[in-house]
Structure 1
Amino acid sequence: MNRTKTTVAAGEQELKSVYAIRRAVFVQEQGVSEEEEYDEHEESSDHVLVYYDGQPVGTGRLRVLDSKAKLERVCILPEYRKYGLGREVMTALEEAARSKGLSHAKLHAQTHARDFYTKLGYEQVSEEFMEADIPHVAMVKPL
């Protein structure tokens, strides 16, 4: 039995789940302000939602920026981080980007997650910088 399902969030209930997961991870766990976490790009972005045993437990966001896929807000609830769901979110985001005709992806990785993205084929292209008071690096990948 497949315990996971990944989908592009559609409808108010799925978007509420997206925002609740991001609130739990970025606002409550990591201390990012709600003003920084939720921005003017929410409605124009595609949001991916991953379910585990029917429960929404992870998400990520895709927006188009400079003809590239900008992958953002990738997170998994802490108790589900051992199941490879981050990889599922990234695969779904990359597939969504390809379906829009985009051939390159970029992201700002928290430095503690750099190795995760490197294993997925992303290459670091910047020095470390601060975003929401958290160290990040810019990374890119051809799709």
Structure 2
Amino acid sequence: MKWEIVTTEAQLQQAKAIRHRVFVMEQGVSEELEHDEYDKLSEQCTHILLYEGNEAVGTGRIRKVNEEVGKLERICVLHEVRGKGAGAVIMQALESIASEQGLHETKLGAQLQAKGFYEKLGYETCSDLFMDAGIEHVLMRKKL
């Protein structure tokens, strides 16, 4: 699997289509909650696509919160490639981008069912349980 930074509107639409399949169709998140003001090409947010062969199968983004911290968001992979390490590749890519941007920490809102996955990658829980889009989450962070 390989990844690349989203640089075109067409790639951004592919990322949004993957998110739609995972978050809206599979998990029942409303379209209004799934899309936000960061769903565009900008300096504040870097989107990536993960490919298996020539097919886009996963996505994620990093948003610079301040000069020290980046927030990892909208991380997902298509059902067909889960369990093949795709999520870890996306996380490594986003952390690499964070380091290149001079950030020293990443944080994310983890769905409770994915908490163990993020713990294996070195993330620590730093909040109580909270609801986001009707799904249980915890805030997690990692020093880079």
* TM-score of the superposed pair, with normalisation by structure 1: 0.95
Unaligned runs of 5+ in 1: none
Q: How big is the alpha-carbon RMSD for the aligned residues of Structure 1 and Structure 2?
A: 0.9
Amino acid at match of 2:135: I
SS in 2 for 1:59: strand
Amino acid at match of 2:138: V
SS in 2 for 1:36: helix
Other-structure match for 1:52: 52
1:41 corresponds to 2:42: no
Other-structure match for 2:112: 111
Offset of residue 18 of structure 1: 0.2
Matched residues, number:
140
State the distance in 2 between where 1:101 and 1:53 align.
31
Alignment of 1:123-138 (within 5 A): 123-138=124-139
State the distance in 2 between where 1:39 and 1:57 align.
21
Alignment of 1:1-143 (within 5 A): 4-43=1-40, 44=42, 45-67=45-67, 68-143=69-144
Offset of residue 89 of structure 1: 0.4
State the distance in 2 between where 1:66 and 1:13 align.
28
Q: Deviations over 1:57-81 (max 9, x none)?
A: 0000110113311000000000110
Offset of residue 106 of structure 1: 0.4
Offset of residue 104 of structure 1: 0.4
Could you tell me the percent identity over the aligned residues?
A: 49
Q: Deviations over 1:82-111 (max 9, x none)?
A: 210000000110111111110000000000
State the distance in 1 between where 2:78 and 2:119 align.
21
Unaligned runs of 5+ in 2: none
Offset of residue 118 of structure 1: 0.2
Amino acid at match of 1:137: V
**Structure 1 segments of 4 or more deviating over 6 A?**
none
